[in-house]
Amino acid sequence: MTTDTVGAETLDERHAGRDRPPSLRLRQGLALLLGAVIFAAVVGPEPGRFYLTPLGLGLVYLLAAAAGGRRGGYWATAIVLLAWGAAVVWLRESRPELDTAGVYMTAVGLGAAAGILVARRGVAVDPLGLAGTIVLAGLSLAFASRWDVLVDAQAYALLVGLVGLVNAVAGAIAGRRSG
């Protein structure tokens, strides 16, 4: 195995194994579905709980990542969302006299750094996954005042549930074909 500057596999090696085994897709898909249902029940129905969305989604993706093990994926999304979510909750609970955007940027930067450190320990954390999650989080914040769907926890639960459903179905179909 060759390594890049963060000690993980090179991008070519990492993406050469992109085809996940059917059992892994099924396991992670079911984890995402379960997480989406719990998230929708706990955070979704109460608009006052929307601030828990990044942390809650981070926990859902952590469940899916753990279901896949060290090589299973979803770690980048989980780590960044957990870092951002922790910052959101901390800001809400402690109300420090700090700029919100600055705290969020610091949190996602720390999340990216944590992801790189975890990758150095042999966990499949894709650097592009870290960056992509940060970009999507930033875009959701940037356009939240224009598109109401971006401030609806149920919409995020539905999206994650669909990702889980697609993975579970694809894993089940591929498993039947190979078994």
The pLDDT value recorded for residue 9 is 47
Sign of the CA dihedral running 47, 52, 54, 56: negative
Q: What is the pLDDT of residue 12?
A: 41
At residue 91, the 3 state secondary structure works out as: helix
d(CA 64, CA 29): 7
CB 31 within 8 A of CB 164: yes
Residue ranges covered by each domain of the chain:
22-164
Q: Give the predicted TM-score (pTM) of the model.
A: 0.86
- Give CA separation, 160 vs 108, 120, 123, in Å: 20, 28, 22
Note the pLDDT of residue 179.
63
Q: What is the pLDDT along the chain (179 residues), one digit of tens a residue?
A: 444 445 444 444 444 345 788 999 999 999 999 999 999 999 988 889 999 999 999 999 999 999 999 998 999 999 999 999 999 999 999 999 999 999 999 999 999 999 999 999 999 999 999 999 999 999 999 999 899 988 899 999 999 999 999 999 999 998 888 76
- Beta strand residue intervals within 29-134, DSSP E: none
Q: Which of 72, 41, 74 is nearest to 59 (CA)?
A: 74
